[in-house]
Amino acid sequence: MSLRVLLADDEHLIRGALAALLALEDDLVVVAEAATGPEALAMALAHRPDVAVLDLQMPGADGVSVATSLRDELPGCRVMIVTSHGRPGHLKRALAMGVRAFVPKTVSAQRLAELIRSVHAGNRYVDPELAADAISAGDSPLTEREAEVLELAADGAPVAEIAERASLSQGTVRNYLSSAAIKIGAENRHAAVRLARERGWV
C-alpha cells in the first residue's frame, strides 16, 4: 500500500527535485503538487493525501495556516513543515496546530522519505537545531494586537494606512508600535519588524 504525498513549495526547482527523488521510493506516491498556500489546501482536499509536506513560507498562506485548515478539514492527513528559516515562533505555533514534523530544507531526500513514513505511523520529529533555537528564543513578549500592528507595518506602510487597515486610531497604532519596539529592544519600528520576524513572532 503506497503512501500518498502532497508536496507544496513555491520554489519550483526544489519541489520538482523532491517529487522526482520521492518517486524513486517504492512505497511513496506524490499525488499532487502546489506552489501557494491556498493551492496546497485545495489540492489536499481534492487528492486526500496521507501526508502533506508543506513549505513554511508560501504566497497566500504559510504552511502553518494551511496545516491549521487541514487539521479541521482533513484530520486524517499528517502534516510536515519544511523550512529554510528556523524561526522559533513558527515552530511553536506549528506544533500547537498539530504539525507532526518540522525539518530544515537541508535534509536529504532519503531522510525526508524516512520521516514521511515515520510521521504517517504517528510519530513526531523536530530537527534538534530548530528545537534548540526555539527554546533559547523564548515566548513572544508581544500581545496579539501588537503583533498584528507590527505585521501591518512590515511593508513600510504609513501610520495612517495601518490605522485604517487595523480599524484603530493613529494614536493607538503609534502606541502599539512604540510598545512593541520597546519590548523587543529595537530602536524603531523597522528594526522591531525585522527582529520579530527573525524570531518568528510575526
The residue range of the domain holding 31 is 3-137
Same domain, 8 and 83: yes
Count how many domains the chain has. 2
Same domain, 93 and 191: no
How far apart, in whole angstroms, are the C-alpha atoms of residue 196 and residue 89? 9
Same domain, 102 and 186: no
Q: What does DSSP assign to residue 52? A: E
pLDDT digits (tens, 9 = 90+) for 114-146: 999 999 999 999 988 877 776 666 677 888 888
Same domain, 131 and 157: no
Same domain, 35 and 69: yes
Q: Which of 103, 137, 171 is the last residue of a domain?
A: 137
In the chain, what percentage of residues exceed pLDDT 90?
Answer: 49
pLDDT digits (tens, 9 = 90+) for 92-119: 778 888 899 999 888 888 999 999 999 9
| Residue from 124, 120, 117, 122 nearest 103 by CA | 124
Where on the phi/psi map is residue 140: left (φ > 0), alpha (ψ -120 to 50), or beta? beta
Same domain, 58 and 29: yes
pTM, entire model: 0.71
Whole-angstrom CA distances from 98 to 29, 74, 78, 111 are: 23, 12, 8, 21
pLDDT of residue 8: 96
| pLDDT at residue 87 tops 70 | no
- Span 184-188, mean pLDDT? 87
Q: Which of 110, 137, 164 is the last residue of a domain?
A: 137
Same domain, 8 and 78: yes
pLDDT digits (tens, 9 = 90+) for 23-45: 999 999 999 999 999 999 999 99
All three cell numbers of 178, joined, read 512604540
AA identity, residue 50: D
Same domain, 130 and 157: no
Summary mean pLDDT of the chain: 88
Same domain, 49 and 122: yes
Contact 59, 36 (CB under 8 A): yes
CATH number at residue 109: 3.40.50.2300
Same domain, 129 and 69: yes
CATH number at residue 172: 1.10.10.10
Whole-angstrom CA distances from 183 to 15, 37, 110 are: 38, 31, 42
pLDDT digits (tens, 9 = 90+) for 62-81: 888 899 999 999 999 999 99
Same domain, 53 and 89: yes
- Residue 86's pLDDT band, with cuts at 50, 70 and 90, is low
Q: Which of 111, 137, 163 is the last residue of a domain?
A: 137
Where on the phi/psi map is residue 60: left (φ > 0), alpha (ψ -120 to 50), or beta? left
Same domain, 155 and 126: no
Q: What share of the chain is helix, strand, coil (3-state, %, to 5)?
A: 50, 15, 35
